[in-house]
Amino acid sequence: MLQYYLRNMQVPVQRPDYGLVETVPPVAEGGTYDVVETMQFLYVNVVKAKDLPGAEISGSLDPYVEVKVGTDKGIVTKNVEKNQSPVWESVIAFSKERLQSNLIEVTVRDKETDLEGNFVGRVSFDVTKVPLRCPPESPIAPQWYKLEDEDSQRIKTGEIMLAVWMGTQADEAFTEAWHSDAQSFNRQSQVDTRSKVYFSPNLYHLRIHVIEAKDLISSEKGRQPAAYVKVDVENESDKTEPSKERTNSPVWNSEMMFVVSDLSDGCIFIAVEDKVGPGKEEVIGTLLIPVIEVPHRGENNKLPDSRWFNLQNRSVTEGEGKKKKVKVNCCSRICLSICIDAGYHVVDEPIEFSSDFQPSAEHLRRSSIGFLELGILSAQNLLPVKMNNDGISTRTDAYCVAKYGNKWVKTRTILDTPTPHWNEKYTWEVYDPCTVITIGVFDNCQISGCKGNVKDQRIGRVRIRLSTLVMGKIYAYRYPLLVVGPRGFRKQGELHLAIRFTCTAWRNMVTQYCRPLLPKMHFLEPITAGQLDKMQYQAEKIVAEGLDGEEPPLRKETVQYVLDHWGWPRSLRKIKANFHRITSLLSWISAISQCFHDICHWKNSLTTIVVHVLFFMQVRYPLLIMPNIFLCFAVIGLRNYRFRPRHPPHLDAQLSLAEAVDEDEWDEEFDTFPTSRRADVVKMRYTRLRSVAGLIQTAMEDVAMQGERALSLVSWKDPRATAVFIMFVFFCSLVFYVAPMQVVQLTGLYLLRHPLFRSKVPSQAVNFFNRSPTKSDVLL
């Protein structure tokens, strides 16, 4: 059945434009290969001014600076109100490729006066005479320059402090500079186009062990409460089961786990509630515990001792003047054990392609084994994302976000081009080679022209596993940006990356392969799969909200896409793809069976003779069996070396069955849960799901039947067959004990006999096995 299904599963061959395209690594200034190309920028650091002449009428001025190269529109700084000695401290950057003149004009203007007469003074520079600075050289020191009038004559008063130099994208001023290509947007929009490095907040597991309570008082006299405990942490809640018996001293002995960050200033809200009836609860008492006051778990994994806490009664009384007073009931108490459990790794992304497995506690973390260099070079053929009033896509303002460990990087936004060039280099420390770096491409929708609280649009995503990289080698490739959505599967462009993994501790890296993937606390005190999924969602939410509060913000939708926050409960396409993966994985059994069949039937006489020789050698020298088995694996590995992958793995459209799915299946995959489609559409999809499930069910049934037949040989389900089998194996054991080598030789010769001595009818052993009973006849 598996073979039938594989034959009828239409898996189109992947198109060439969906594969990686290898490129030549970028060449640095010294002639050596690097992960980025060097880009020249003209930097102008406008620091401050002094003794500026005031306006003729008011005597004061609101000065700002305009920096212009040639006839292009200049970049202006913010204005400083009523100040003749203003301080700006703004760095302005011009791409050398876009310079259309060798003359730089730095003009001081007054915002108070009319546009025609707002000139205060200026300073001019020749680009060809600007000094060149290459980091790690020290920064260029700013100097005072006398201001000149429009006729290039020095004015009586007024000086400005400037620093002008020619640098690269590696300059420290690059990230904070105002770039010339964003000059047409307002100040906040220009801030959103800057590059930035972010760090996720440190996350910890909060363990709360709810043990018992004493002296709980119900709202009704004479009635014992059916109490349970509800805990709220960081807008996430959990609760215990109600006590089995109505009592004022219930025992729960229930444990809960939450995720908190080291920057959290919130509180743990604990409420003891009484389940009065169906859908009706009453609060018996509450408790607030600040997260910063929770102790950490002690050394040797010792949990802190439990403590008794007094509950604050939520009952309210009316006092004089209609003021509400809260009564504190010191009789009701609750016993808790609360601690910060830093021995675990807090999962904020799927384990399958996680970028970090380090525990939260710093003293438990291992030293780094190397560093990773990523060069985000450029993109090609990006599809336009922004739409005009007619609904037509017109432009793309692209930027990239890369995440590895707790370090996030965001490139600057390249405006209105389908072929942006970033050429930005970033470095991470590596602690585990079996980790994955994720790079996402997005369209910036926060700049001017976008109305309302719009979200940045995702263009595509690339993942690279470090263990697939040869150390020290630069991998430069153009990665296709393949995305799926309700409208189907498509390619939205290409991302040009260069990456290099350098190992600095070979011994630590090799031993890392023999260590558990997660910290040992995950094995000493395992967390259930349900708790892991719940806490992963909490961690993703905390990270997204924390980075969204930075300046400039790394927006929540961007973080969620990189962390793969979105998930769908079921996908028919993924069911087919995963079943295809399983059958492909098990295909080696069929391949071995076919190879043995070909040897036995002398399809290749030379191969069969070689197998005969090897067989007699093993029988003659049985001590060589195990060494030869290991040697065989080594030879297979060496033989496959020439077939090794030449480039890192990437999204496989063929394996994902992305092109074997019609529009309706894509719409079903991205449908809401529960469904929002019409009844006839749901009926058609249900019928299709049943047909696919029927094929998978039949294939799984065939596998189960073969296993049940093997077990039935010794389980006495067929008494006669089991008795015959026991007598046969008992007889074989006696024969092998008396003359083991001779029997092995005869058995081998019988199995490898020539086709002239074979019958087309299945052998007696196969017939005996196929007659063994299965559980199919007892299924309803």
Read off φ and ψ for residue 583, nearest 5 degrees. -65, -35
The candidate with the shortest Cα–Cα distance to 434, out of 504, 516, 506, 359, is 516
d(CA 554, CA 200): 11
Dihedral sign of CA atoms 532, 537, 538, 539 in order:
positive
Query: What CATH class is the domain 205-315+328-341?
Result: mainly beta
CA 677 vs CA 333, 414, 566, 572, 671: distances in Å? 51, 40, 20, 16, 8
C-alpha 515/C-alpha 511 separation (Å) is 7
pLDDT at 399: 94
pLDDT number for residue 355: 92
Element (H, E) at 633: helix 625-639
- Look at domain 40-193 and name its CATH class: mainly beta
DSSP classification of residue 654:
T
**Closest to 34 in 3D by CA, of 433, 425, 427:** 425
Look up tokens 């030449």; give the residue: 646
Helix or strand holding residue 109 (H, E): strand 103-110
Find the Cα–Cα–Cα–Cα dihedral 522, 525, 526, 527, rounded to 10°.
Answer: -100
Domain limits, the chain: 40-193, 205-315+328-341, 362-563, 570-778
Of residues 212 and 732, the one with the higher pLDDT is 212
Segment 692-736, tens digit of pLDDT = 888 778 878 888 888 888 888 888 888 888 888 889 888 878 877
Closest CA to 309 of 256, 269, 355, 254: 269
pLDDT confidence tier of residue 1, bands split at 50, 70 and 90: very low
> In angstroms, what CA-CA distances link 540 with 411, 537, 558, 676?
22, 5, 12, 27
Domain 362-563 has CATH 2.60.40.150: yes
The amino acid that residue 149 corresponds to is D
3-state secondary structure of 372: strand
Q: Which residues contact 759 (CB under 8 A, 6 or more apart)?
A: none
Task: Give CA–CA dist 621/609, Å, rounded.
Answer: 18
- What are the pLDDT digits (tens) for 436-491? 999 999 999 887 555 557 889 999 999 999 999 999 999 999 999 998 888 788 89
- Confidence tier at 149 by pLDDT (50, 70, 90): confident
| Res 264: pLDDT | 78
664-683 mean pLDDT: 83
Quote the pLDDT of residue 298.
Answer: 76
Q: How far apart are CA 646 and CA 232, in angstroms?
A: 51
